[in-house]
């Protein structure tokens, strides 16, 4: 099972796409996918799902949504415990976790002087993006910080990839991309 949050929510069971219907159900899965393998407290889930207007019986409402999510996506492990609910996935099974790992490996390869390996790894990392991170929950209070952090990591990975491409030759292919990025981020010294 794989979950994508770098763009609209995407759930895949092998090659098969799984439809998760309902905005609240999708928001629940997105919030859990931000912390795969780690418990998310009931209060954090309540805030993510209802903001300042939680239902009277929050615990029961979250439990009902989790049950619906389990039925909607058979095979997706959502476990409950004293600390909250946990999405039973490896971080690499969520595109954001995989992106972060690949971006870190690419940066390390670049720092170690292996530009070709860095270029391949960073291209793989950036290919995971299908749109803005957490695109479906941008209004949720928790999403702004998480989306901004992921967007910053994406921009840093783009800078690293460009540096790797410059080290491997053919800098003329980067002129248009660099013009676009420096126009969008005029205060980024590294891009300039």
Beta-strand runs (E) in 54-145:
78-81, 84-87
Reported as a single tens digit per residue, the pLDDT across 129-168 is 999 999 999 888 889 899 999 999 999 999 999 899 988 8
Question: What pLDDT was estimated at residue 185?
Answer: 84
Reported as a single tens digit per residue, the pLDDT across 61-117 is 999 999 999 999 988 999 999 999 999 999 999 999 999 999 999 999 999 999 999
186: left (phi over 0), alpha (psi -120 to 50) or beta: alpha
* Single residue among 61, 91, 121 that ends a domain in this structure: 91
Enumerate the H helices of 16-94 as residue ranges. 23-33, 42-50, 58-72
CA distances for 150 relative to 74, 79, 113, 116, angstroms: 28, 26, 25, 24
Question: What pLDDT was estimated at residue 111?
Answer: 95
Question: What pLDDT was estimated at residue 126?
Answer: 96
| Greatest alpha-carbon span in the chain | 62
Among 15-19, 46-50, 56-60, 188-192, whose mean pLDDT is lowest? 188-192
Question: What pLDDT was estimated at residue 169?
Answer: 81
DSSP labels, 15-36: TEEE---SHHHHHHHHHHHTST
What domain range is 26 assigned to?
A: 2-91
Question: What pLDDT was estimated at residue 87?
Answer: 95
* Single residue among 91, 107, 124 that ends a domain in this structure: 91
* Single residue among 91, 124, 149 that ends a domain in this structure: 91
Angle among Cα 110, 104, 45 to the nearest 5 degrees reads 165
Question: What pLDDT was estimated at residue 113?
Answer: 94
Specify the CATH number for the domain of residue 72.
Answer: 1.10.10.10
Dihedral over Cα of 12, 18, 19, 22: its sign? negative
């Amino acid at each position: 099972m794989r979950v994508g949050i770098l763009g609209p929510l995407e759930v895949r069971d092998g090659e098969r796409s799984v439809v998760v219907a309902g905005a609240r159900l999708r928001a629940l899965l997105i919030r859990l996918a931000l912390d795969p393998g780690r418990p998310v407290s009931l209060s954090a889930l309540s805030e993510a799902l209802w903001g300042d207007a939680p239902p009277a019986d929050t615990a029961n409402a979250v439990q009902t949504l989790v049950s619906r999510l389990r039925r909607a996506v058979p095979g997706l492990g959502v476990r409950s415990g004293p600390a909250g609910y946990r999405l039973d996935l490896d971080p690499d099974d969520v595109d954001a976790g995989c992106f972060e790992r690949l971006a870190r490996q690419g940066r390390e390869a670049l720092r170690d002087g292996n530009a070709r390996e860095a270029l391949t790894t960073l291209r793989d990392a950036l290919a995971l993006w299908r749109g803005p991170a957490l695109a479906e929950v941008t209004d949720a209070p928790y999403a702004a910080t998480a989306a901004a952090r992921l967007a910053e990591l994406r921009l840093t990975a783009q800078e690293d990839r460009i540096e790797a491409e410059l080290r491997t030759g053919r800098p003329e292919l980067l002129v248009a991309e660099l013009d676009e990025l420096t126009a969008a981020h005029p205060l980024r010294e590294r891009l300039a």
